[in-house]
Structure 1
């Protein structure tokens, strides 16, 4: 699919982009190349290809879910301006 300058001007208007006539011609060529590539990829038969969640067939190594830092809740609560029942009290923002 090829785009001309009027198509680019319409797209630029919709996207609220200010482009010069010189840029318009270059963008028309670039976007036409992109649309040609998309059409080429769309023509490939992918009926036998299973969808993947990730492009690489790898398993992520996960570390054990263990606490690595000491519990400092009592310390942080002691230096907080207001706490109640183990919760931090903050000023009301919305009425």
Structure 2
């Protein structure tokens, strides 16, 4: 299947791309290659072939989520540049 320069220009317009003549010719050649590749794939007999969900049969070994208190509230506030009794104090954010 071949794609015309008019179709490339229409796609460029829809994509808000500005292509010069040289870029249109290059894009046309690239799109022709892509469409030829898709046409080759369409010719394959894939009857009975299961869809591939994952590239390998291996599964991830995940650890259990456990809550661990690594730092105390007081330790977290100790290094704060400005803190209230229980909170970090930050400057006002203006729009």
TM-score (norm 2): 0.67
Aligned residues: 92
C-alpha displacement at 1:32, in angstroms? Answer: 0.7
Report the aligned-residue RMSD.
Answer: 3.2
What is the deviation of 1:55?
A: 2.2
Instruction: Flag structure 1 segments of 5+ consecutive residues without an equivalent.
Output: 77-95
Structure 1 residues 68 and 49: CA distance shift in structure 2, 3 A:
farther
For residues 23 and 58 of structure 1, the distance between their equivalents in structure 2, rounded to whole angstroms, comes to 44
CA distance in 2, matches of 1:16, 1:46: 37
Query: Larger % of strand: which?
Result: 1
- Closer, same or farther: CA 64–16 of 1 in aligned 2, 3 Å: same
CA distance in 1, matches of 2:33, 2:39: 10
Partner of 1:87: none
Aligned partner of 1:84 in structure 2 is none
Unaligned 5+ residue runs, structure 2?
A: 77-95
Distance in 2, Cα, partners of 1:72 & 1:2:
67
In the superposition, the TM-score normalised over structure 1's length comes to 0.67
Aligned to 1:19: 19
